[in-house]
Amino acid sequence: MREAPGWAIALNNSKNWQVVNVSQRKILVTSALPYANGGIHLGHLMEAIQTDIWVRLQKLRGNDCVYVCADDAHGTAIMLSAEQQGITPEQLIENVSNQHQEDYSGFLIQFDNFHSTHSQENREFSEHIYKTLDKNGHINRRSITQLFDPEKKLFLADRYITGTCPKCKAEDQYGDNCEACGSTYSPTELIDPRSSISGATPIEKDSEHFFFALPEFQDMLCQWTRSGTLQDAVANKLREWLDTELQEWDISRDAPYFGFEIPGSAGKYFYVWLDAPIGYMASFKNLCDRTDYNFDDYWQKGQDTELYHFIGKDIINFHTLFWPAMLTSAGYRTPTAVHVHGFLTVDGTKMSKSRGTFINARTYLDHLNPEYLRYFLAAKLSNGIDDLDLNLEDFALRVNSDLVGKVVNIASRCAGFIGKGFDGYLAENPDNPDLLAEIQAAKNEIGDYFEARKYSKAIRLIMALADKANQYINDKEPWVIAKTDKQSPELQAICSSGINAFRLLMCYLKPVLPKMAADAEQFLAIEPLLWDHADSLLVGHKINKFKPLMTRVESDKVQAMVDATQKEFEVQARSKTKSDTTKQPLENTTGFESEIDFNDFAKVDLRVAEITSAEHVEGADKLLKLVLNLGKDKNEKDIMRTVFSGIKSAYDPDKLVGMLTVVVANLKPRKMKFGMSEGMILAAGPGGKEIWLFEPHVGAQPGMRIT
């Protein structure tokens, strides 16, 4: 429970005396920067919404809380995308920034400032921090060998290189790993490598790169990561890395590159590792230059202000190792805490464009109320790093049951009687002070749940109180009283209790549902709700005529959103296919491998297999270790195989256990870095999050041969 505000007289920045809240917390909050090369999707929104809820709570509690964000606007991908569109990178990032801000605004995300890493503030901070790191001896330079596109005249990142896997000989694999066999390797090891940008055969070329000396901060990071600034699960994960020797962090890229040139190093540019997080500082500095906020109060060491980052678990090594180490070397404070969340899945699987579940913000807004999503996420979110599933059926049921069937229902059942029988005036003495006192007494507990990011617990408590209010109205049956006396004092007192209960619940829900809260404030004819307004009641107060505050989620609109997403994917796929086929001979347009005869195919023994266990592989970014049951041998003993598969980006190991799949049973075992792989499971998809394992129909049993 937090202290009640205290007050004092103080000089403001304009040298004028004013009354100030001396116990007011001063907080700066950021969420991860979206990349300026695509639209906002539900994954971005899960992070932004939970951050926005937390920030709104702080502001409602009277704290000085600032929320800043920006677009991550540098990189080769942006340069190439702009080139493809026939516009400048500056034009592209401006267009995307406008789109991003419109999308966030549509979901009621209330930034105090939204900026860009391609800004003067970011350039100045990047150069200053780099020079400080270099002066402190924390920048090392050495030559490395990379693949170079001789046609585009640029060094190729791994994702822009494809070729044949040096281990299993699978074609069209990325430059750092094989999705067919799960092997990891250097791009220079690829057989017949080619640039996915130009199609040219890359050549090896040496280049000097700049590295941040992260290993020198090993001791500092061991202490910082275990100081309570991180969730236990995150600290434990980091311990795995910190218990081994850290690697230097590459912070440079060669021209051509869209970004900021490194001072004194022509043709060398800051990679996003360095200038992207500085976007937090730059966005806040941009705000400071337009307001009375002081930058040093929030970023210099020794200040009592608070600094929080909300991020996804995919970038914890960046935000909790590189970033605090860089800040420390540059003389700035480290974050008070880094709040990490899991991924968003839709209907139990990774978001997929082809299935219509990789939903963009704009597509959602074209069909559904944004507060539906805000509420559903709040009802599911915890302070852990587990993935959150957006089950579309549960989504509709939850919103309809809770918001329409419980909260709004309280007001709609009572408002009419107050309007018709009492000219809109509430009673001086509500009928059930005990119920209202119970709802009021929950204020601190609900607030502390929100503060601790245990949103789902806060929502459960709010809805439990809503249930009690509805039960009270059911028991009192005001509609029965109204049949005989529309101006009964008892009727007025009962309905006034209901309206007051509704107001208290809306006060607690305001961080989650700001638009619905604003509509409720208009209906109640009150000033904007603050958290401490829950300490008082409305008595002898006149309310306005009730209007519906929330309509039900319609299943046909949810389906229309999914259909629209699928249509977007199909249009993009056709466009890509058309583009690709114009560059290839006709005989290659299918993308099929060379023909084989039946005897070749008959050599492949495909079997149904049950996944009996699945786990992450320590030290492997792409692999999962699967144990498969391929049925019984002649002695009725289970045939068990261990297979390493590059499906980690698309599947949660826990959800694979018990699943049937298809395995190449007679593939020669292959020794890998992490152990012996005794087969290969079959999957389809372009890679990344879009990988789908083959699943036999119901009735298939482990060991059955596929013919």
DSSP structure string for 388-427: EEE-HHHHHHHHIIIIIIIIIHHHHHHHHHHHHHHTTBPP
Mean pLDDT taken over the chain: 89
pTM higher than 0.85: no
Task: Look at residue 9 in the predicted model and tell me its pLDDT.
Answer: 45
Q: How far apart are CA 491 and CA 478, in angstroms?
A: 6
Tens of pLDDT along 357-381? 899 999 999 999 999 999 999 999 9
Pick from 339, 338, 364, 340: which is nearest to 351 by CA? 364
Query: 679: phi > 0 → left, psi -120 to 50 → alpha, else beta; which?
Result: left
Q: How far apart are CA 282 and CA 462, in angstroms?
A: 38
Task: Look at residue 3 in the predicted model and tell me its pLDDT.
Answer: 36
Phi, psi dihedrals of residue 447, rounded to the nearest 5°: -60, -40
Once rounded to an integer, what is the mean pLDDT over residues 517-543?
Answer: 98
User: Three-state DSSP class for 337?
Assistant: strand
Q: Which two tokens stand for residue 78?
A: 């942006």
Pick from 674, 673, 697, 692: which is nearest to 682 by CA? 692
Per-state percent for the chain, helix, strand, coil, to nearest 5: 40, 20, 35
Task: Look at residue 475 in the predicted model and tell me its pLDDT.
Answer: 97
Task: Look at residue 590 in the predicted model and tell me its pLDDT.
Answer: 40
Tens of pLDDT along 534-556? 999 999 999 999 999 999 999 99
Which residue's entry shows tokens 């970033």?
Answer: 323
Tens of pLDDT along 316-339? 999 999 999 999 999 999 999 999
Tens of pLDDT along 392-421? 999 999 999 999 999 999 999 999 999 999
Residue 663 contacts residue 606 (beta carbons within 8 Å):
yes
DSSP designation for 637:
-
Count of Cβ atoms closer than 10 Å to residue 77 Cβ: 16
Q: Is the pLDDT of residue 563 over 50?
A: yes
Distances 221 to 38, 189, 215, 269, 577 between C-alpha atoms, Å:
34, 34, 10, 27, 48
More confident position, 439 or 652:
439
Q: Is the pLDDT of residue 597 over 60?
A: no
Q: How far apart are CA 70 and CA 277, in angstroms?
A: 10
Task: Look at residue 601 in the predicted model and tell me its pLDDT.
Answer: 66
Q: Residue 631's pLDDT band (boundaries 50, 70, 90)?
A: confident
Q: Is the pLDDT of residue 618 over 80?
A: no
